[in-house]
Chain A
Amino acid sequence: MSQYRLEVRVKPRPGLLDPQGKAIHHSLNSLGWEGVSDIRVGKAIYVDMEADSPDAALEAAEAMCRKLLANPVTEDFEVSMVGELEGAGS
């Protein structure tokens, strides 16, 4: 078993209103970044976990997204491997 760190990115589905993104968008425009045409706000979740292999860790993280971390009605998710953590596991 090794210890891995994964990054889960959860983001609002395209086309769904993202009021938080809209507010930030307006604020950036008023600060002078007039070229900013859209802002979407998601979240990043870092998962440290023990697994047999990087693939097993990725698979587990995807299952976590389906079960809890993302809402399939409103959000999409992506999972990526940050890397193996040193000094852990056996």
Chain B
Amino acid sequence: MKVAVITFPGSNCDYDLYKAAQQVGGDASFIWHRERGIEGYDAVLLPGGFSYGDYLRAGAIARMSPIMEDVISFANAGGPVLGICNGFQILCESGLLPGALMHNNSLKFESKDVLLRVERADTMFTADYKAGQILRIPIAHGEGNYEADKETLEALEAEGRVVFRYVNAAGETSANANPNGSWHNIAGITNRAGNVLGMMPHPERAMEELLGSTDGVALFTSMVASLQTS
């Protein structure tokens, strides 16, 4: 499986994503944002970080990078695209995912482990999880408060496109388990076709017992498995 990790100026999780992809048997390469063409790749990963210093709005300027035109075509043709943290913000800015990520309602940069509930275990990104499974995965963001207009939010729920939610230890979507004020504790969503996933938490930082959690591994193994069977 050939995996493209897109690097923008200010990306800082690109090596983590590269390592995560390699760990599950992917053949990862970096693509600089000014390059063109992602032919021959099986999946695209958009890393976390602070592309363009989050100037204007997080992800807004990265979205205009030359490579994003190719990423949008790749996604529209059904290619799997995973955006994490700043990558999620870029996906929203690009229109591949609906809504926007606003400032955390805490006004703080939230950097800590959170608990996530897997809402859908039937996506290409989550097949190796069980529905309802609770994961411990780190977050590190100042703008992760997911918002959209009422119609969009209702459609996301009705179509089952919320893949991860912030929960407490009992697995409930309580307000105090929500680190940023996201509507309905949303931590990750897919597009309608299910081939684009955006999420604020960092599964690529939960790949080794030594670093506190291996709960992110199944996300990457799910992607690899779905590409091998398709």
Contact = CB atoms under 8 A, between A and B. Distances in A.
A89 interface: no
Contact of B64 (A22, A68, A74): A68
A69 interface: yes
A73 B148 contact: yes
Nearest to B98: A73
Nearest to B64: A68
Contacts of A53: none
A73 B107 contact: no
Interface string A15-41: 011011011000000000000000000
A73 B100 contact: yes
A55 B147 CA distance: 34
Interface of B: 56-57, 60-61, 64, 92-93, 98-100, 102-107, 145, 147-149, 181
A22 B64 CA distance: 31
> Which secondary structure dominates chain B's binding surface?
loop
Q: Looking at chain A's contact residues, is the secondary structure mostly helix, strand, loop, or mixed?
A: helix
A71 B105 contact: no
Contact of B102 (A22, A23, A69, A74): A74
A70 B98 CA distance: 15
B132 to A, nearest CB: 29
Contact of B105 (A19, A68, A69): A19
A71 B103 contact: no
Interface in A29-68: 68
Nearest to A74: B100
B57 A71 contact: yes
Given A22-B107, A74-B100, 12 more contacts: A17-B147, A17-B181, A19-B102, A19-B103, A19-B104, A19-B106, A68-B56, A69-B56, A71-B57, A71-B93, A73-B92, A73-B148
A20 B107 CA distance: 7
Contacts of A22: 107
Contact of B99 (A19, A68, A73): A73
15 contacts: A17-B105, A17-B145, A17-B181, A19-B105, A19-B181, A68-B60, A68-B64, A69-B56, A71-B60, A71-B93, A73-B98, A73-B99, A73-B100, A74-B100, A74-B102
Contact of A73 (B64, B106, B149): B149
Given A19-B104, A19-B105, A20-B103, A74 B147 contact: yes
Given A17-B181, A68-B56, A73 B104 contact: no
Contact of B147 (A16, A20, A23, A68): A16
Contacts of B145: 17, 19
Contacts of B147: 16-17, 73-74
